[in-house]
Amino acid sequence: MPKPALTTWGKREVVTPKAMTDRITAPQKYYGKMPYFAAQGCASNTSTPRTGMALYKGKHVEVLWPAAKVKKFGFTTSSDGKYFIIPEDGVYHVHFQASTYGNKNRITGNNINVYIEAENNAPGNGAVGELGVVINQHLTTNFYHTTPVAVTEFFTKGTKLKAKVYLDGGAEGNWVIADGAVDTAFYAFMVSPSSEGWHYATPGPAPAMKRWTDNEFIDEKRMNEQTTDQFNALENRARVTGRGVTFNWKGQREDKNAVTWAGMYRNSVVSGWFQEAEAAPGWGAKTAVNIPWDGLYLVSAFGNARHSAQPIANVQYIYQLGLYGSGGATAKPMLLTQGGNARTNHESGQVISDVVFLQAGTKLNIRFWGVNTATNWDSGRDGSGTVNGTRWWNFAITYLGRGTYGSGG
């Protein structure tokens, strides 16, 4: 169903069945089931060395999704099974993961790049281009490696989303994208149906919900607080995205290892709402984002890093990407993802994506930590020239609403 037009209650307005349906029932039905798709398992065009989509060295493969493996609401698909088409303007969270399998590996591994890409030939201010890429180094012959990437972006109606995988140009042997439902998957769901663009100012949190009581005098302010104002907050959730990271650090650094974001893009005009902050005193002005309200937040981040040490056969230099709250070097991570990098001057990436409860005033930040002290790590390519900022580092935070993980939130 299309997004309902939200209208407000007026003073001395006669409450009709149509007004109740338009302002209460229709929005609740819409926000209770917004557009989504889940493609679980890609097409299969080979059985060598396993069933799945064949990969070819030095080439991108655009992943195909058989209709029988797709569940969707609102989204449509292209006839070739490659694209998922955005049904309405809005903010969407998109996740792609590819499990790859190869029967011959370099001693220091083969790079596997996974991408989320958006195409839109119509005018609009939605995200387009290669929105995110994560690189993993496939090290083990005759085994699966899964590489994920996730973004939260504003898309305009008609934008076509696709996923693609690139295999190292020096790869040998036979390679596939695994076709299993738990191996390779592509997901997207609407977070909020804002039709005014990424920067359209959010109203912030919805007013507190109150119980109705007998003999209560109901005016237009009370009706709007309980209905239209609630839906306005859902329609344009507060959000911020950080893009662009540059660092060059010694390994095992604990001091001031929160990454600095070159740009912060938000839909808030109120001072203090998702503003840049310091992760801790002396760490830098854009190392964190200030959380404005208690509540649940959708958080996703990815980053690709590379190291300068000479490769050692079958050995990875390990590193981790962590989501932290306020605090300095002694702070503990809220979410953590760990991986490895086996090849000198080649990126390797990690992803964080989850829903977390955050308190107002938290200085949310992403930190990088790599091994060892003899190794320099840097942030890899900067993605210069890509639309909507860099595709190598991304940090997205979206306010979902009041609530906790406990009862009574």
pLDDT by position in tens, the chain (length 409): 788 999 999 998 989 999 999 999 999 999 999 999 999 999 999 999 999 999 999 999 999 999 999 999 999 999 999 999 999 999 999 999 999 999 999 888 999 999 999 998 877 778 999 999 999 999 899 999 999 999 999 999 999 999 999 999 999 999 999 999 999 999 999 999 988 877 789 999 999 988 999 998 889 999 999 999 999 999 999 999 999 899 999 999 989 999 999 989 999 989 899 999 999 999 999 999 999 999 999 999 999 999 999 888 778 899 999 999 999 999 999 999 999 999 998 999 999 999 999 999 999 999 999 999 989 999 988 655 443 446 899 999 999 998 876 655 4
Positive or negative torsion for Cα 157, 160, 297, 24: positive
What b/e readout covers 123-141, taking b as 16+ CB neighbours within 10 angstroms? ebebbbbbbbbbbbbbbee
Domain limits, CATH 2.60.120.40, in the chain: 36-192, 239-401
Residue 386: what pLDDT?
44
Contact residues for 93 (Cβ-Cβ < 8 A; gap 6+): 150, 151, 152, 188, 189, 191, 298, 300, 398
233 is written with which tokens? Answer: 């907050």
Q: Which residues contact 196 (CB under 8 A, 6 or more apart)?
A: 236
At the topology level, CATH places domain 239-401 in Jelly Rolls (2.60.120)
Question: Which alpha helices (H) appear in 197-247, and where do they start and end?
Answer: 220-226, 228-235
Contact 182, 40 (CB under 8 A): yes
Using DSSP's 3-state secondary structure scheme, residue 384 falls into: coil
pLDDT reported for residue 315: 82
- Quick one: pLDDT at residue 383? 56
Q: Give the pLDDT confidence score for residue 382 in this predicted structure.
A: 67
Does domain 36-192 sit in CATH 2.60.120.40?
yes
The structure's pTM equals 0.94
